[in-house]
Amino acid sequence: MRGMPLFTGVGVALVTLFSEDGTLDAPATADLAAQLVGLGVRCVLVAGTTGEAAALTAEERDALVGAVRAAVPAEVPVLAGTGAPTGRQAAELTERAFAAGADAVLVLSPAGVPDPRPYYDAVAKAAPGPLLAYHFPGASAPGIPVDLLPDLPVSGLKDSSGDAGRLLHERDVFAGDLYTGATSLVGLCGAVGSAGALVAVANLAPEDAAAAFAGDAEAQVRLAAVDRTASADFPAGYKRAAAERFGTSVVTRVGG
């Protein structure tokens, strides 16, 4: 499943914007995506963990994908989060995401499953385009064992564990596109030749994220400092920080 990476550089794990009454504001979300692309973002992930995917209906996910795909240039891939508790559910979300205009999907491993190979096999059968696995034990433990990565029918992996040793292990044994979801490892990813980063902090500091990936140590330090504050209250902290810069909504559904 090797080939050109889905993207190289920094992608954004996009926040999902809501109106004051809590209804989805897909146009505003798409507008934010377009602004971030204009500031150097190379990929837009919608309906991911930062995008409050668990609080979205299937129809809202479709609307988000369609709106963002229409708002950003064709060469910027739109990645849709389609992880679910079962392979059947994830496969259905995957089919819908591609039908709505997604260029690829990111699939979080299921909670409580030590061997996710059957799960990813089921999702792969429903995916007409690139499928990326997602290792994030903080959100869905236990995650994906490194030694199983070569057996997965995926073209890439996002690792949000923040474990530098694991990232280097993955870089050594995994032939697919490797992306970090950890702000602290953006520079390391660039230094070891990984494909890129898919980070929530790119909602508010896309320029420093891109600079850190390119090897700017000062930018990496600034990026980590910004993220420490924004990530302390997830996902509301990222929304407040994005609002300070872009005037976007701070309304969240998670925890509401």
Helix/strand/coil for 215: coil
Catalytic residue among 158, 179, 238, 239, which? 158
179 is catalytic: no
Helices and strands counted in the chain (H then E): 9, 8
Q: Are 231 and 247 in contact (CB under 8 A)?
A: no
Distance (Å, whole) CA 51 – CA 200: 9
Task: Please state, in angstroms and rounded to a whole number, the distance separating the CA atoms of residues 98 and 220.
Answer: 34
Task: Tell whether 49 is in a known binding site.
Answer: no
Which is catalytic among the residues 120, 134, 179, 238? 134
Distance CA 17, CA 172 (A): 38
- SS3 state at 204: coil
Transcribe 36-69 into DSSP letters. Answer: HHHTT--EEEESSTTTTGGG--HHHHHHHHHHHH
| CA distance linking residue 22 with residue 11, whole number of Å | 26
- Is 134 assigned a catalytic role? yes
The secondary element (H helix, E strand) that includes residue 197 is: strand 196-199
Q: What is the rounded distance in angstroms from the CA atom of residue 195 to the CA atom of residue 72?
A: 21
Distance of alpha carbon 212 from alpha carbon 120, whole angstroms: 32
Binding-site residues for pyruvate, please? Answer: 50
- Enumerate the active-site residues: 134, 158
Binding-site residues, please? Answer: 50
